[in-house]
Amino acid sequence: MLKAQPRTLTAAAALVLLAGSALSGERKTIGRIERQDPRLDGLIPRDAVIEVLAEGFRWSEGPVWDRAAGRLLFSDVPSNVVHAWSEKGGLASFLQPSGYTGPEGGGGREPGANGLAFDARGRLVLCQHGDRRISRLEDGRFVTLVDRFEGRRFNSPNDLALGADGSIYFTDPPYGLTKTFDDPGREIGWNGVYRLAPDGRVSVLVKDLRAPNGIGLSPDGRTLYVGQSDPNRPVVMAYDLAGDGAVSNGRVFFDTTSLRKNGPGAPDGLKVDRAGNVFTTGPGGVVVVSPKGEYLGTIVTGVPTANCAFGDDGSTLYLTANDKLCRVRTTTKGQGF
């Protein structure tokens, strides 16, 4: 049974910080593209740069392209805000509060929304750290889709991926809780990967990862990818995914340990293009991996990079990189474009 959130949301329209000299048509650039394999040239042009679109955030996360409005939405998790950015309109506050709707001063260390996605009907689905649930935005109000497993509250749902049948796959590490892994408010003894089926049933798929984080699906829907942000095991896992949502054959798809020379960070958010290449955040930026798990290169931002998403016509990769929102032009496209 869906539960309506009784609190009406506010949506501010005030512009906030614009990056660099964007108003004059020029943009600040950062980092570099590290090319390990010639196949990367077929995905990211040789002259590609990392453009900074906006900056000054506390921790930018959860980018998703809003096709209906032609804009990017993304979270500033500690600030409990979802922002919108577009080429024409610049940056504006879209949703506040975004992930914690309780009394002031609560909601844990990172109370805002984290991962964002649009369902088949164009409705925004959110991982809400502070409210510890997966919700959907409907007519300016949050509707709870799921907030418990077997009667116990989730830790702080972090990221999500939507299957073709409407299933929602999501991760539940404790990063939103005040004391994270040692928080006394934890009600579940593991950090799980879950599936919310179209009929409302929730099942736990994976229980043995210390820090499951980013999540994505292969183009054929037969492989589930999960990034683990554990610094002692910074890997992307792959699982065979059955038609009923069950997973099997868990294996390391890619280990980012050797890439720490590029800068700080571990696997966090990830996206899969329509050819099956995996773009996962990792040490120093966004790591590009072939469908067979081969390292192709890294979009090196030089800072901890939380997530990425394809937008515009599907060939622009947007990056949420620490305090910045960035983009890179590609010659591939995200799924669904």
Q: What is the pLDDT, as a whole number, of residue 105?
A: 83
Phi, psi of 174 (to 5 degrees): -100, 25
Instruction: Report d(CA 12, CA 25) in Å as an integer.
Output: 26
Domain ranges of the chain: 28-329
Instruction: Report d(CA 190, CA 186) in Å as an integer.
Output: 9
- Number of neighbouring beta carbons within 10 Å of residue 103: 7
Which two structure tokens, joined as six digits, stand for 215? 């999540």
Instruction: Report d(CA 80, CA 12) in Å as an integer.
Output: 13
- Number of neighbouring beta carbons within 10 Å of residue 295: 18
Instruction: Report d(CA 216, CA 225) in Å as an integer.
Output: 5
Q: What is the pLDDT, as a whole number, of residue 104?
A: 87
Which two structure tokens, joined as six digits, stand for 21? 């000299």
Instruction: Report d(CA 169, CA 183) in Å as an integer.
Output: 24
Q: What is the pLDDT, as a whole number, of residue 25?
A: 60
Q: CB–CB of 241/221 below 8 Å?
A: yes
Q: What is the pLDDT, as a whole number, of residue 130?
A: 97
Report CA Rg, the chain: 18
Q: Residues with Cβ < 8 Å from 46, sequence gap 6 or more?
A: none
Distance between start and end Cα atoms, the chain: 32
Q: What is the pLDDT, as a whole number, of residue 62?
A: 98
Q: CB–CB of 76/57 below 8 Å?
A: yes
Which CATH class name applies to 28-329? Answer: mainly beta
pLDDT in tens, the chain (337 residues): 233 333 333 333 333 444 334 444 689 999 999 999 999 999 999 999 999 999 999 999 999 999 999 999 999 999 999 999 999 999 999 999 999 999 988 999 999 999 999 999 999 999 999 999 999 999 999 999 999 999 999 999 999 999 999 999 999 999 999 999 999 999 999 999 999 999 999 999 999 999 999 999 999 999 999 999 999 999 999 999 999 999 999 999 999 999 999 999 999 999 999 999 999 999 999 999 999 999 999 999 999 999 999 999 999 999 999 999 999 999 999 999 9
Q: CB–CB of 18/26 below 8 Å?
A: no
Sheet of strand 235-241: strand arrangement: 212-217, 223-228, 235-241, 247-255
Instruction: Report d(CA 81, CA 52) in Å as an integer.
Output: 20
Sequence letter at residue 142: F
Angstrom CA distances, 246 to 33, 193, 273, 308, stand at 37, 11, 23, 26
